[in-house]
Amino acid sequence: MDEKNYIIDLKNVSKIFDGVTVVDNFNLYVKKGEFITFLGPSGCGKSTTLRMIAGFEFPSKGEILLKGKDITNLPPNKRPINMVFQRYALFPHLDVYDNVAFGLRLKKIPIELKDENGNPILKINKEKVKQVKEDIRHTKRNKVLTNEEKENKLAELNEKLQHLLNNPEQAYKYRKLSNQEIDSKVARALKIVDLDSLEDRDISTLSGGQQQRVAIARAIVNEPEILLLDEPLGALDLKMRKDMQLELKEMHEKLGITFIYVTHDQEEALTMSDTIVVMKDGEIQQIGTPKMIYDEPKNAFVADFIGESNIFNATMIDKLKVRFLNTNFVCLDDYPLNEKVDVVVRPEDVVLTEVNKGHLNGIIKNRIFKGVNYEYTIMINKNELLVKDTKEYPLDKEVGLIIEPNSIHIMKKDFVTNIYTDAYISKDNKVCIDDAPFECNLTQLLPGSFIDEEGYLVSKDKKKKYNLTDALVVAEVDINDIEIIDNIDSDEAKVVGEIVDLVYKGDHYQLIVRTDNEEDFVCVTPYTYNLYDKVGININKDKIRLRLKKELSEYEA
Amino acid sequence: MVKKILAYSYIYIILFLMYVPILVLIAFSFTNSTYIGEWNGLSFDLYVNLFKDTEILVALGNTIIIALISSVVSTCLGTLGAIGAYYSKKRSRAIVENINQIPVVNSEIVIALSLTVMFVFLGNYIFKENIFSFWTLLIGHVILSVPFVYLNVKPKLSQMDPSLYEAALDLGCSPRIALRKVLVPQITPGIVSGFMLSITLSLDDFIVTAFTRGPGLLSGEANIETLSTLIQAKIKKGPIPMNMRPLTTIIFLVVLLAAIIVTIVKNKNKSKVKMRRGRVG
């Protein structure tokens, strides 16, 4: 592949902080002029990845190429990349003009050195030699690489160093930009962000939106190859944010600079990006256009994170036929017979109709008026289905539901982890999965926190308390961490279910234990069970990973 | 109403207690009586004598030199320390902060005595000569004021947006230029107040000075005499020297003038017309 087409190329990049892997084997290339968004919940490694591209962090493993050149260990001031910071980071001691001119005043323009005959003067490139020596130092200090990897890398770098020392290159002298040049560039940048009338103002006298614009002007005035934006709209109010989204998009088209944008707001990502990279726990979940990611999410996490969605466990029962909600549906995705799959149905794709006229029936349990439409929660036996419809229906009415084949998206089931998207926290700080309380470790929701005697989650500095009773959470349990209890009457059996599926995988069985409420627990065991055996389920409290559906701050007591 | 009376009475009592003694001192600097409290009629003799009194002038010179040098040194050390600690990991920052607290709460006599013991030890066993000199005095004064500079700079750093430094790097500054162009301007008020405080501490100091001084500076072969040690020596033998009255009056007036200038500069109208170099037309 011709790498020159890519403006930036991250190859097997990993970042490990004190033994914790924050970014795991990240591979991504970005085409010139693209608007790419890193999307994910907080702590998914998206900001760290951005900071590695900016040069504030250096990767523990892997390399970053800018236009094919290795910039892995290049300091931020030597990269043609500029960043718009989350809280803008404007210099308060300078006014708007001087903030924007800051980068230009430091800029050095190279001029080729020539001797009297006009031939280029050749010198050993000291800058590059210094950088290679720096690379060698970084490699020697790296604690993550194995000795063999280190030696190979060092040998490669030493060879590069010898090459540089033996081959003089074109020498340059540098000049600064003249005041006229700076002035015209600043004026142009301020015009692009509509701030030309405010250049003499102090930063502290500007509104949040204006500060945002100064931050953008300060970055784009340097004509970077890539503009990095780290949740730049997070501090603005909703209306302002919407306006800025469109403006940023427009600016991107006008400037033709590559934008790399970081956000946890899925709507922002869908509105603005050419490409979205969905991340979770330092790993890329899916890369694609907004439409692709919305319509064809790769797994339950992506489907749940992007937009509202109904996700159900389903089984393929025939060619192009899938069963979920106790109903058989025709679908368009072809999966092997009896394969356990996840099904995503977007709320706006379900059509409400009269009883018995649809594929299945349900009862309207809740209705919220949302302006453009109504949002209904419909109970189908014990399952909830979220539906958006413009027509008004009364509560508790039984309705028919039509789910067309093209609105059913089937995803390969992620068999490594059981994901329970409708879990909640009970009064005694247990997590209820399928209405059964499991002991869990709530302190994982806030690093360094603990539970006090009254059952509140208390932050590390003891300043904030959270009451998590009834908080909706997504619980995840690895299939290896689910214990099967043979004696279904013992206290250890928190839930009881029937083995509905049994696959022999060489040296172990993979079971699906289905409870009366149709919740599935996928687990592995070396022992032999029979289909339809009744067994109990228990989960070690430290093995349940929790993620709040809302922000933690909403539960502050 | 009661609140108002209390508030005002507080101000007047403080003003009275602070400024009446100074006014009395100023008044008695214009008479030539040996003992304070006697009024011999208006006279400028003391002012004339002051500038002939080499002993006091030498002490004054020493005091100012030490104050300036030790303040510059401790301001640099304290500021760099605060910046370094701010960008360190939490653990090392906590250690630095706690170590810094100890000299602040520790009594001065402990610092002075421990320094003396150390200097004697170093002189006896390592340098094999008496090392008490200007340098030992300087070390004493720097140790005295460094923690206070740190304490003045630290809050300015915590008020600052931590990503400013990164923003400067991002815009092309090398770490050193980022420090000078972005970080230092943010914490300048803290640096200035730290500097002023260390000048005050050094000017006033008696205990550490008395313990760590040696020969040098304007005192030549004799032990360095500062104003505080000189006065201490004088009042051991007799009354407060007469020439101290005009001197303290002058010091008070200089400080007053400095305070007024600082206030004026701070409140100076900032709406100056900005000149843009490079603007055409």
Task: Give me the residue from A92, A95, A106 closest to B171, CB to CB.
Answer: A106
Structural domain spans, chain B: 71-232
Q: Does A340 touch chain B (CB under 8 A)?
A: no
Q: Does B164 touch chain A (CB under 8 A)?
A: yes
Pairwise CB contact (< 8 Å): A76 & B186? no
- Per-residue pLDDT band for B236 (boundaries 50, 70, 90) equals confident
pLDDT for B147 equals 92
* Sheet strands (E) in A67-217: 69-70, 81-84, 108-112, 122-123, 169-170, 172-176
Taking residues B187-197, what's their average pLDDT?
91
Mean pLDDT estimate for chain B: 86
pTM of the model: 0.72
As given in the structure block, the two tokens for residue B185 are 């301007």
Taking residues B251-256, what's their average pLDDT?
88
For B144-178, what is each residue's pLDDT tens digit? 999 999 999 999 998 888 889 999 999 988 889 99
**Contact yes or no for A262/A50 (Cβ under 8 A):** yes
* Bridge partners for A123 per DSSP: A169
Pairwise CB contact (< 8 Å): B172 & A222? yes
Q: Does B189 touch chain A (CB under 8 A)?
A: no
**Contact yes or no for B172/B194 (Cβ under 8 A):** no
Pairwise CB contact (< 8 Å): A182 & B278? yes
Q: Does A180 touch chain B (CB under 8 A)?
A: yes
As a CATH number, domain B71-232 is: 1.10.3720.10
- Of residues A506 and B247, which shows the higher confidence score? B247
Q: Does A204 touch chain B (CB under 8 A)?
A: no
Distance from CA of A18 to the nearest CA of B (A): 12
Pairwise CB contact (< 8 Å): B173 & A77? yes
Are both A309-412 and A417-555 of the same fold? yes
For A243-294, what is each residue's pLDDT tens digit? 888 888 988 998 889 999 999 888 889 989 999 999 988 889 999 999 999 8
Pairwise CB contact (< 8 Å): A183 & B164? no
For residue B149, how far is the Cα from the chain centroid? 10
pLDDT for A72 equals 86
As given in the structure block, the two tokens for residue A326 are 């106790």
As given in the structure block, the two tokens for residue B176 are 């050193």
Dist. CA B246–CA B43, nearest whole Å: 11
DSSP for A358-387, written as a single string? SSEEEEEEEEEE-SSSEEEEEEETTEEEEE
Rounded mean pLDDT for each run of 10 residues along chain A, 557 residues in total = 71 87 88 91 88 90 87 87 89 89 88 79 80 84 80 86 82 84 89 85 87 90 90 84 88 90 90 91 90 87 83 84 88 81 88 89 90 89 86 90 90 76 85 85 83 83 83 86 86 85 69 83 85 87 85 80
Q: Fold for domain A309-412?
A: OB fold (Dihydrolipoamide Acetyltransferase, E2P) (2.40.50)
Q: Is B249 helix (H, G, I), strand (E, B) or coil?
A: helix
Distance from CA of A17 to the nearest CA of B (A): 13
Q: Does B161 touch chain A (CB under 8 A)?
A: yes
Neighbouring C-beta atoms of residue A151, cutoff 10 Å = 12
pLDDT for A52 equals 92
For A159-216, what is each residue's pLDDT tens digit? 888 888 888 877 788 888 888 888 888 998 888 888 888 888 888 888 888 888 899 9
ipTM for the complex shown: 0.74
Pairwise CB contact (< 8 Å): B276 & A82? no
Nearest CA in chain B to A178: B278
pLDDT for B281 equals 47
Give the residue carrying structure tokens 């509105």. Answer: A271
Q: Does B185 touch chain A (CB under 8 A)?
A: yes
Pairwise CB contact (< 8 Å): A180 & B185? no
pLDDT for A422 equals 82
Q: Does B233 touch chain A (CB under 8 A)?
A: no
pLDDT for A506 equals 54
Dist. CA A551–CA B130, nearest whole Å: 68
- Per-residue pLDDT band for B279 (boundaries 50, 70, 90) equals low
Contact list, B181 vs chain A (CB under 8 Å): 102
**Contact yes or no for A178/B278 (Cβ under 8 A):** yes
Q: Fold for domain A417-555?
A: OB fold (Dihydrolipoamide Acetyltransferase, E2P) (2.40.50)
Structural domain spans, chain A: 111-175, 309-412, 417-555
For B21-71, what is each residue's pLDDT tens digit? 888 888 888 888 777 777 877 888 888 888 888 888 888 899 999 999 999
**Contact yes or no for A554/A485 (Cβ under 8 A):** no
